[in-house]
A and B are shown apart, each in its own frame.
Chain A
Amino acid sequence: MIFNIQRYSIHDGKGVRTSIFLKGCPLRCPWCSNPESQSFAKEILFDESRCMEFGDCTSVEDGVFSFSEGRLLMNRKVLADAGHYEETCPSMAISVAGYEKTVEQVLNEIEKDEQFYRLSEGGITLTGGEPFAQDNWILDLVLALKKRGIPVAAETCLHISRKKLSRFIHDISEFLIDLKHVDAEKFRSFTGGNLELVLGNLKFLDHHAVPYRLRIPVIPGFNHSFADMKRIINFSANLKNCRHMDFIPYHNLGESKYRMLGRTYSYAGSRPVDEQELEKYLQYATEKGFTVTTGG
């Protein structure tokens, strides 16, 4: 299941790219800017600011939307299948995150920009969510793209089984690896994940000299300190084939989506990343021999 196909992505790898966003992720990072990417199921995004109270949604008889004293109310608890709400709302106040597409359908979309990939040496970026969580579907897509000569990059948190990962190591032109931390306890308490799995996979890719770069999200209250970053950078410096490090400063552009999903955004009000502090990380990473970029 995917939740977005974004054309002309120019900040996720080389050249002009189309990003395929896959729905569902094993981690639960509270700063996530695409909260609708986390669940593997379809979800309703309800944008109250676009609601004009036409009431078309009340015709779905599960009682999620109803009028009470002339006001439209929403009760998420009784939602059985978000899919019933596809294309119901005239003003698009309700949208459904997540839709099934065949590999063939996605290929059709991808091929529309083929001319643009060619000249700019761009291609496809698989992202999410965690794209490799849907390994069978993804593998079909990757092989189909390989046949057409369109390069595929993949952004991954590496929180997946070695078995799944190893299916891809020959056909992905570049892995964009989200390395969030190297402290197992911090990693577990913030994301709910097992760091050992991530680092093991990272070393596995490194060992097989698979092309990759690291993407380090810079998150206040989590790793936005020189001490934390130093640990991450030092760890990476011990990898054999790690050359490129991209720092992604935290931003709160995803905040409204939490509201639309009926979730609370625990990072509300967080201060943006301190530019000067960020500069120190960049400098340190450069000293350690990395090619460094920011913002993808």
Chain B
Amino acid sequence: MIQTVQITGLSERIVQIKEKILNSKPSVCTERARHYTDIYQENAGMPVIKKRALAIERTLQRMSIFIGEGELIVGNHSSQLRAAPIFPEYAVQWILDELDEFDKRPGDAFYLTHQHKKELKKICEWWKGKTLIEYGYEKMSAINREIHESGIIRAEGNLTSGDAHIAVNLEKILCVGLDGYLRDVQLHGGLLDLNDPADQKKAIFYEAMIIALKAFQHFIERFARLAIKQASEIPDLGRKTELNQINRNCLKIAHEPPENFYQALQLVYFVQLILQIESNGHSVSLGRLDQYLYPYFRDDLANGKITEEEVLELLENTWLKLLSISKIRPWSHTRYSAGGPLYQNVTIGGQTVDGGDAVNELSYLILESVGLLKLPQPNLSVRYHTNIPEEFLFACTRVIEKGFGMPAFNNDEIVIPSLLQLGVASVDAFNYSAIGCIEIAVPGKWGYRCTGMSFLNLMRVFLAAINDGRDTMTGKTFLHGAGSLSTFSNFDELMKAWKDQIRFFTRKSIEIDATVDTALEELVPDILCSAFVDDCIERGLTIKEGGSRYDFVSGLQVGIANLGNSLAAIKKLVFEERRLQAGELQEHLEKNFEGKDGERIRQLLLNYAPKYGNDDDYVDQLLKDAYSCYIRELDQYHTTRYNRGPIGCRYYAGTSSISANVPSGSVVPATPDGRKAFTPLAEGCSPTSGTDILGPTAVFNSVSKLPTEKIMGGVLLNQKLTPASLRNERDKQKLISIIRTFFTRLKGWHVQYNIVTRDTLLAAKKDPEQYRDLVVRVAGYSAFFTTLSPDMQDDIIARTEHTL
């Protein structure tokens, strides 16, 4: 594949659109909330799914729409740029509680007018007692609610927002057009037997889909009309032509399959947009854009209908549209996803269904356009495979060098065999894409949340294990323990105590997930999202009812490195070398290593016990053993879709814990790895900040020892490099060679890079105005550095920088 274009920079148009977005202040839009509330009030007795069809219809009919100056790709999320719509049906209490604080948040602030606040208050008051979160908590058993409140397991994000974490079948949408979907719904609707109560339920779902799909079509036609209106009013002939083109595009794709690249991209964006108006979920992903758009690109280029420069501009415009979509979350959840990310993932590269290299000219252009814009959206992932062209990896390192954390790499060599192992058909396994951060699914065929079920705080569980089952934060004992640090007579007893506790809390996390899932299924079914995922239409079931072809999910385990390091420190210093007394350690943990004696103990823990990330089997194997216990326990459980249709309906492990390591750490007392109370935990599967002192190859080796083939929810590894380490071609080549080794030989799962100097980050923290466009990798996603809260910024700064 030849990279044919030499890109010099962004066009004037793109620069202007970008500036406009960056200069817009985050705010809130009340329109969606208003329309949904009206419909729910007017139709109280109607089945939920039909209510929701009417609500999306009303919203799409009446919400303000606009076409920004110079825009080639159209469609707005709310009444203003970067104004977050409100989804009151999920949760309102947090809005009422935090309304006056939105603009005072240390990170991710939102600015509201008095008018908006007044309207929101009124809307939220009506919803009190009717929302998903309240329903979810009501359904939870008393003990599970206590565990949830304790913070050991957190699922709040799943009750305040919808599901998402999904890529719909964009390939099929482009192929059959929206009319094709309508015909399909009508066809299956006609086959129902209304004597069957199950079919009666399906009939309502089909009716809802028809309402919603038509509403979607009308929404697109509204843009057609707006474009023609603007064209008639504008004197500039060039812009007039563009607006006429937008009009034709919208008229066409509202019903029929797109006939060229431009229309295809516009339709992809509309779908992306509509899913994020329907549901409050995030990580709505675009799947393998370079694959399903390639035929349009290739044909248009061959027929001289489009140039590569035009393709680039359209792509850039699309990325800016993705960036203009905004979401407001409760502060409690915002801390888990600092920087306001929407995790709209685009995946490129990888293999074709027959195992050939899938990199094409469009892959290069997507890479290039994302690199030129340097924005947090989309979240760009590259699928690595052994035969991926060196030249493409080289192009990737040139984007990595820009230091905004993209692209991230997923590895076909481990993901595809694992998917096959799980029972995924070969054509589908070869077609997987990244979703959200780093997790993976088969686009258009997979249910929600291939990761993103509840968060499990491993270190709280560990502390319970060494304290006779007592949770040291709340003082509560959820499962009686097998002893405490000072009573264990050997390390095996401690390990057994850990295993008892982790099995218990694993089971609890599944119970909590089941409660949340049934609440979501009953109260906030997604209609359009279901329509666009196979085989919901055929089965007449929403995704949550079991409509998807595949269903595998994962929760998020936080504190991986801390767990391994804590085990190693105790084993070596207490049980083997006896350099520390168990009682003494326990006492100083409780006292958070206060005083000189405490600090001495902490230093010994930090400096004289092996640390995960240094390729030391001592600690790496302990971690593997401890974590595997969780992973094996998962095998016993199923999702709520079990026996309802999808293949799988099972759990696997996942560590793509977004920025949860900071808030999760804020509820964990001191730990035996020498970590002080309430400071961040290690993120993802990365080593604890500052402890991986042997460089990237040692980290790769350590990570590879984990049972990565079973952690299909993502093995998140962040590495930070200094700019000097990518200075010249030879340095880039060396980076490529270690990435290749990590993936091809060691079967690594994922890696991503932050390339900024510590000085730059410190300067940006001090002087945010000067660095408002500085994007950094937070976890499985990138965000504007200056929108992060100070403690999150410190965490990023602390992550080890490998000087090569």
Contacts and interface: CB of A to CB of B under 8 A. Distances in A.
Interface in B592-612: 596, 599-601, 603-604, 607-608
Nearest to B698: A7
B607 A10 contact: no
Interface string A80-117: 00000001001110000000000000000000110110
A6 B804 CA distance: 11
A120 B604 contact: no
Interface string A1-30: 000001110110001100000000000000
B518 interface: no
A78 interface: no
A108 to B, nearest CB: 10
A113 B741 CA distance: 10
Contact of B737 (A11, A87, A90, A116): A116
Query: Chain B CB within 10 Å — which of A11, A16, A116 has the most?
Result: A116
A119 B745 contact: yes
B697 interface: yes
A197 interface: no
A21 to B, nearest CB: 14
A91 B695 contact: no
A52 B603 contact: yes
B403 interface: no
Given A8-B804, A10-B804, A16 B599 contact: no
B745 A115 contact: yes
B35 interface: no
B251 interface: no
A120 to B, nearest CB: 4
B740 A90 contact: no
Contact of A91 (B603, B744, B745, B804): B603
Contact of A113 (B607, B697, B734, B744): B697
Given A115-B746, A119-B741, A119-B745, A90 B607 contact: yes
Interface size class of A (residues with CB under 8 A): 20 to 34
B607 A7 contact: no
A205 to B, nearest CB: 25
A120 B698 contact: no
B603 A120 contact: no
A112 B697 CA distance: 9
A87 B573 CA distance: 13
B604 A112 contact: no
B804 A116 contact: no
A10 B731 CA distance: 8
A16 B697 contact: yes
Contacts of A120: 733-734, 737-738, 741
Interface string A25-61: 0000000000000000000000000001010100000
Interface of B is mostly: helix
Contacts of B745: 115, 118-119
Given A10-B734, A54-B596, A116 B608 contact: no
A120 B740 CA distance: 9
B734 A16 contact: yes
B600 A52 contact: yes
A116 B741 CA distance: 6
B705 to A, nearest CB: 11
A91 B596 CA distance: 12
Contacts of B607: 90-92
A56 B731 CA distance: 43
B696 A8 contact: yes
B731 A116 contact: no
B796 to A, nearest CB: 22
Contact of A116 (B596, B601, B697): B697
Contact of A52 (B599, B694, B741): B599
Contacts of B696: 8
Interface in B736-751: 737-738, 740-741, 744-746
B737 A8 contact: no
B737 A16 contact: yes
Nearest to A112: B615
A16 B600 CA distance: 38
Contacts of A6: 695
B605 to A, nearest CB: 9
B697 A8 contact: yes
A54 B600 contact: yes
Interface in B547-583: none
A90 B731 contact: no
B460 to A, nearest CB: 27
Nearest to B607: A92
B347 interface: no
A83 B409 CA distance: 45
Interface string B742-786: 001110000000000000000000000000000000000000000
B701 interface: yes
A8 B741 contact: no
Nearest to A93: B603
A116 B607 CA distance: 28
A56 B603 CA distance: 12
A92 B603 CA distance: 8
Contact of B603 (A7, A8, A90): A90
A15 B697 CA distance: 13
Query: Chain B CB within 10 Å — which of A8, A15, A56, A120 has the most?
Result: A8
Nearest to B616: A112
Nearest to A95: B607
Contacts of B733: 120
A91 B725 CA distance: 30
A54 B595 CA distance: 11
Nearest to B599: A52
Contacts of B698: 7-8, 112-113
A251 to B, nearest CB: 12
Query: Chain B CB within 10 Å — which of A56, A113, A118 has the most?
Result: A113
Contacts of B604: 90
B744 to A, nearest CB: 8
A41 to B, nearest CB: 24
B738 A116 contact: yes
B804 A90 contact: no
Contacts of A16: 697, 734, 737-738, 741
A113 B695 CA distance: 11
A122 B99 CA distance: 59
B693 to A, nearest CB: 10
A112 B599 CA distance: 34
A111 to B, nearest CB: 11
A240 B725 CA distance: 34
Interface in A109-152: 112-113, 115-116, 118-120, 122
Query: Chain A CB within 10 Å — which of B696, B698, B701, B734 has the most?
Result: B734
B608 A87 contact: yes
A113 B701 CA distance: 8
Interface string B724-737: 01000001011001
Interface in B354-395: none
B697 A7 contact: yes
Contacts of B697: 7-8, 16, 112-113, 116
A44 to B, nearest CB: 16
A52 B600 CA distance: 8
Contacts of A7: 694-695, 697-698
Given A10-B725, A10-B804, 5 more contacts: A15-B737, A52-B599, A90-B608, A112-B701, A115-B741
- Identify the 10 closest CB pairs spanning chains A and B, nearest first: A120-B737, A8-B695, A90-B603, A91-B603, A115-B745, A54-B600, A90-B604, A10-B734, A8-B697, A119-B741
Interface of A: 6-8, 10-11, 15-16, 52, 54, 56, 87, 90-92, 112-113, 115-116, 118-120, 122
22 contacts: A8-B697, A11-B804, A16-B697, A52-B599, A52-B600, A54-B596, A54-B603, A90-B600, A90-B601, A91-B600, A112-B697, A112-B701, A113-B697, A115-B741, A116-B737, A116-B741, A118-B745, A119-B737, A119-B745, A120-B733, A120-B734, A122-B737
Interface of B: 596, 599-601, 603-604, 607-608, 615, 694-698, 701, 725, 731, 733-734, 737-738, 740-741, 744-746, 802, 804
